[in-house]
Structure 1
């Protein structure tokens, strides 16, 4: 009995430490997420700008192009649809893409001002700190995307969102937000100064968006003879994120799109964690003041 009594505290101690460690991890996730949400709630123009861009496409360009782009009866549609219905998934992707890229700009700013350096020196694994930042970015992206969908419904866009299809579509939006947020995290490794973000816009955001199925279907590109654009659009992970959302909204099988999106999300995040390691990363952040000791 005495031996059992002596062994009990030794067994309970690791369990208590493990429980405390899990709580510490969750506290970090909660603190970083709440910080980003609070900062976002004080930036009213950020939400407005995030909604104006896709709503401009929806209200103006879709009306002008309604008779220019004839959307044939192809998957995932069962009948002819107006152009504004087709581009809504692409505009949701636009919200996710721009917020994910804007997060990389915020990370560069935090790194220059020292906030990111302080976070990276916290007594937590570096990948977990970066995951917390990624989680906060994805959360903001999803909230902005849902706000856009609500406004799109208010202006009369017909979307089957009040069915069970909404749940797979929400899952697709969340996965797309994580993938694009992880891409923004990876880009922040290489962007040394805020002035370089304009190059990111020109060489990453715009090509990724326009060489995709966000604004026109792949068969239109192939029909027009733009084979190289067609092939690039097929390889673009943003295309698969859009197609997953589009097929999920209409309750159809998205094929390999979920696997491409999830695989790219994991790959981007792993590469970002590698890049934020000051001992071996791509950017060697420690040499330019972007990372603290491991």
Structure 2
């Protein structure tokens, strides 16, 4: 147990130090959702009308609607960024050295997942603080209630990044695979528009968005920001996270996974 906790502390500290030294990563993670909030939302506000849907009790501005989706954007992009660092570590040899330790492989990967999730949650709260200064304020209790939702969503998206990193054998292939995953996952969700709005154009598109695990994560965050539970969204997010984590563990198994040829 002491060895496992030591490994957890060491991996989290290493990732935290790496994040602190990469200030551009923090700024980029913050600027991306802020551009959507302050620039794109101004243009979409007139084009996308919103009705009163749970958890909202009245009509809201479009900027208020997309805040949970932009929180999910931060978690999604940081999860993919974490997978990039895994590919880099594998090419440099440090990842292989880590996985040859006497501790279980699943625990080492889980430690990486905890570290990336902690960084993601920190970034989300920084974004929420800037949004609050911008005038988009949630119920006070919501800022505390959203923490478990952010952790669950961050672990699910981080596990997806882990699974994808086991597929990527070279750093040069990262951009193509990430774009194939990130943009469809983000745009085919309720991050920017509600499901009923999507159903107006295409029922098939609406069904695809409803099946997207990122949609469930965003809705879980949306309800949590108003201190309301969304049990179906929580259940689907947890199931998706367990599936992605199992896929990552299988992918990093040198005997059976995607990296078996690398040994």
Please give the per-residue CA displacement for 1:83-110, whole angstroms capped at 9, x wherever unaligned.
0000000000000000001111110110
Aligned length in residues: 263
Please give the per-residue CA displacement for 1:127-174, whole angstroms capped at 9, x wherever unaligned.
0010011111111111111111111111221322x22x3333111111
* Alignment partner, residue 251 of structure 2: 275
* Alignment partner, residue 70 of structure 2: 91
Q: Secondary structure at the match of 1:175?
A: helix
CA-atom RMSD, angstroms? 1.1
Which portions of structure 1, spanning 4 or more consecutive aligned residues, are displaced by more than 6 angstroms?
Answer: none
Give 1:286 shift: 4.2
More deviation in 69-78 or 82-91? 69-78
More deviation in 271-280 or 24-33? 271-280
Tell me if 1:108 matches 2:80.
Answer: no
Matches within 5 A, 1:102-181: 102-160=81-139, 162-163=140-141, 165-181=142-158
5+ long unaligned stretches in structure 1: 1-21
* Alignment partner, residue 194 of structure 2: 217
Matches within 5 A, 1:13-92: 22-92=1-71
TM-score by length of 2: 0.97
Please give the per-residue CA displacement for 1:12-50, whole angstroms capped at 9, x wherever unaligned.
xxxxxxxxxx11100000000000000110111010000
CA distance in 1, matches of 2:118, 2:179: 25
Q: Secondary structure at the match of 2:244?
A: helix
Give 1:52 shift: 0.5
CA distance in 1, matches of 2:237, 2:261: 33
* Alignment partner, residue 18 of structure 1: none
TM-score by length of 1: 0.87
Which of residues 178, 199, 206 is equivalent to 2:176?
Answer: 199
* Alignment partner, residue 261 of structure 2: 287
More deviation in 238-247 or 65-74? 65-74
Q: Which structure has the larger Rg over C-alpha atoms?
A: 1
Tell me if 1:262 matches 2:241.
Answer: no
CA distance in 2, matches of 1:166, 1:40: 24
CA distance in 1, matches of 2:151, 2:25: 20
